[in-house]
A = this chain, B = another copy of it.
Amino acid sequence: MTQFVLISEVGPRDGLQSLKSIMPTAAKKAWIEAEAAAGVREIEVGSFVPPTLLPQMADAAEIVAHACTIPGLTVAALVPNLFGARNAIAAGAHKISLPLSVSETHSLKNLRRSHDQVLDEVRAIAALVAEQPEGKRPHFEGGLATAFGCTLEGAVAEDQVVRMAAALIEAGCAEVGLSDTTGYANPAQVKRLIRRVRAEVGAQRLTGVHLHNTRGLGLANALAALEEGITTLDASLGGIGGCPFAPGASGNIVTEDLAFMLDSMGLDTGIDLERLLAVREIVKAALPDEQLYGFTPDAGLPLGYRGGWGLGPTSSSHSPSTP
């Protein structure tokens, strides 16, 4: 298992795009700043989709540009097509992700494109990325949505996930990710699919997974992924988000709970838990009508908590408080 785990915060994109409320631009900036200050090293800050479709994301370019001024932060954006990719790159995004739904039914509903059409788009984006001057070339990831099952099709064949992973790499993605868009995944499946996709495209081309907590298995699935050598886990502050086009699917993994789990296991996330928990106040204030999720925020940190909880046989029963 890796020692450093990158938590990639997707709340400002995946979270906000699922909500009816539109978060003001200033609040988005404050949220991103505060979360970066708490030690989060990568944030997906927006989606470059037409504002007519997702008015929540109308300020994506401004948000990306602002986030890029934060030192040490990897700024990611979702792009559904070449047009979006062009705008994301112009705004300065360090990383762009294009989702491909392994379930073609979901692909047609979500992106209004067949697999072949999505792969054409991937090739065009890859060419655009390659044209960028060195240092301005974003990391281009293809996200395999509905990789663990689909609310429209049901089970999704693993062979098909593996084929689509290979197709994305072939079409020019630097990396693929596995997304449990619908919250159908279980730990055994997570392990099996990571192994199969890595066997096909190489371990260095699958380093991250995007999991939901729809059926409460989010952190168990995250643990399974870590045990397979995954080093990047997506999560959303307060668990907001899901997928508006997958009925019944909701609930990203809660960043706070994930960060607590990893920290207590003695893994390094770079995140200060107390500061991370405080970021909720910014989100709450900006989204007064929305529910935030998470267990650790309600329960608080354990008494006398310090990272690497209970590590080692000599841990005292009267440990000092977190410094």
Interface residues of A (CB under 8 A from B): 103, 148-160, 162, 182-184, 186-189, 192-193, 196, 213-217, 219-220, 222-224, 248-251, 254, 257, 260-261, 264-266, 294-296, 299-300, 302-305, 309-319
Interchain CB contact under 8 A, A216 and B296:
yes
Contact of A309 among B149, B220, B264, B318 (CB under 8 A): B149
Contact of A310 among B148, B153, B248 (CB under 8 A): B148
Copies in the complex: 2
Interchain CB contact under 8 A, A303 and B215:
no
Interchain CB contact under 8 A, B302 and A223:
no
Q: Give chain B nearest CB distance to A150 CB in angstroms.
A: 7
The docked-state distance in angstroms from the alpha carbon of A251 to that of B294 is 13
Contact of A182 among B217, B295, B302 (CB under 8 A): B302
Interchain CB contact under 8 A, B294 and A216:
yes
Residues of B within 8 A of A160 (CB): 317
Residues of B within 8 A of A193 (CB): 310
Residues of B within 8 A of A216 (CB): 219, 254, 257, 260-261, 294-296
Q: In the complex, which of the residues A153, A193, A264 has the most CB atoms of chain B within 10 Å of its own CB atom?
A: A264
Interface residues of chain A: helix, strand, loop or mixed (majority): loop
Interchain CB contact under 8 A, B187 and A265:
yes
Interchain CB contact under 8 A, B157 and A316:
yes
Q: Give chain B nearest CB distance to A203 CB in angstroms.
A: 19
The docked-state distance in angstroms from the alpha carbon of A222 to that of B213 is 16
Interchain CB contact under 8 A, A257 and B304:
no
The docked-state distance in angstroms from the alpha carbon of A248 to that of B297 is 12
Q: Give chain B nearest CB distance to A254 CB in angstroms.
A: 7
Q: Give chain B nearest CB distance to A299 CB in angstroms.
A: 5
Q: Give chain B nearest CB distance to A151 CB in angstroms.
A: 6
Q: Give chain B nearest CB distance to A32 CB in angstroms.
A: 24
Interchain CB contact under 8 A, A155 and B189:
no
Residues of B within 8 A of A183 (CB): 299
Residues of B within 8 A of A224 (CB): 223
Interchain CB contact under 8 A, B188 and A155:
no
The docked-state distance in angstroms from the alpha carbon of A295 to that of B239 is 13
Contact of A155 among B214, B248, B309 (CB under 8 A): B309
The docked-state distance in angstroms from the alpha carbon of A310 to that of B162 is 13
Interchain CB contact under 8 A, A186 and B264:
yes
Contact of A261 among B153, B220, B305 (CB under 8 A): B220
CB contact under 8 A between A151 and B303, given known A215-B295, A219-B216, A223-B224: yes
Residues of B within 8 A of A303 (CB): 149-154
The docked-state distance in angstroms from the alpha carbon of A157 to that of B313 is 6
Interchain CB contact under 8 A, A265 and B315:
no
Interchain CB contact under 8 A, B261 and A155:
no
Contact of A317 among B155, B254, B257 (CB under 8 A): B155
The docked-state distance in angstroms from the alpha carbon of A317 to that of B316 is 53
Residues of B within 8 A of A152 (CB): 303
Q: Give chain B nearest CB distance to A107 CB in angstroms.
A: 12
CB contact under 8 A between A248 and B157, given known A215-B257, A294-B216, A317-B103: no
